[in-house]
Amino acid sequence: MLTREATPEMILEWKSVWNAYKDRLRPNRKSGADLAAYLTGKYPVRRLDGAKAAMVVTGNVLQNKAFAEKLPKGRQPSPAAFIVENTGEGKKLYDGQDEIFKGTEIFVGIDLETGFFCVEGSSLLWDELCAYRGLDERDIRNYFCVAQYVSALERIHPNGRKPG
């Protein structure tokens, strides 16, 4: 999860990771519905049905060319939004919140059409969802996507689940 402005050094590192992994990766991207099922099956969540939450997801998909290109022809985003509850498995996420997120609810938005997702309040959950979702062919050609995926896998599986 990128939480600060990218530096030239960061970009060089991302490109280095991409060069190391790009030829070993195979498309394994799960759908938005799979991602939502994973989230709701693992964590206690409260679904948000309001227009504001839906617009966060829809706006991100439609206003970002890389996300909008993943929309099937003639389809519109199908947003689902949730708050992870601070109980059960969710409590672990709240207990491990980054300093910048302390005291805020964990919001997750998922587009069921494209598999786009966003997380506010937990870089650990963002990494978990990124690692679970995987990459498609287009993502594998993008050094930033590959670097984020590899970083997420390393964080979620620190004892060695390397891609490829």
Q: Per-residue pLDDT for the chain (164 aa), expressed as one digit of tens each?
A: 777 788 999 999 999 999 999 999 999 999 999 999 999 999 999 999 999 999 999 999 999 999 999 999 999 999 999 999 999 999 999 999 999 999 999 999 999 999 999 999 999 999 999 999 999 999 999 999 999 999 999 999 877 655 65
Closest alpha carbon to 45 in 94, 1, 78: 94
The residue type found at 61 is V
Is residue 149 assigned to a domain?
Answer: no
Beta strand segments in the chain, E = 45-48, 79-84, 106-111, 117-120
143 is a domain residue: no
Domain around 115? 27-122
Query: Does any domain span residue 133?
Result: no
- H or E element in which residue 130 lies: helix 123-133
SS3 82: strand
In a domain, 141, yes or no: no
Predicted TM-score (pTM) of the model is 0.92
- Counting the structural domains of the chain, the total is 1
In-domain check, residue 79: yes
CA distances from 112 to 63, 135, 136, 142 (A): 17, 16, 15, 22
Q: Is residue 150 part of a domain?
A: no
Task: Determine, yes or no, domain membership for 51.
Answer: yes
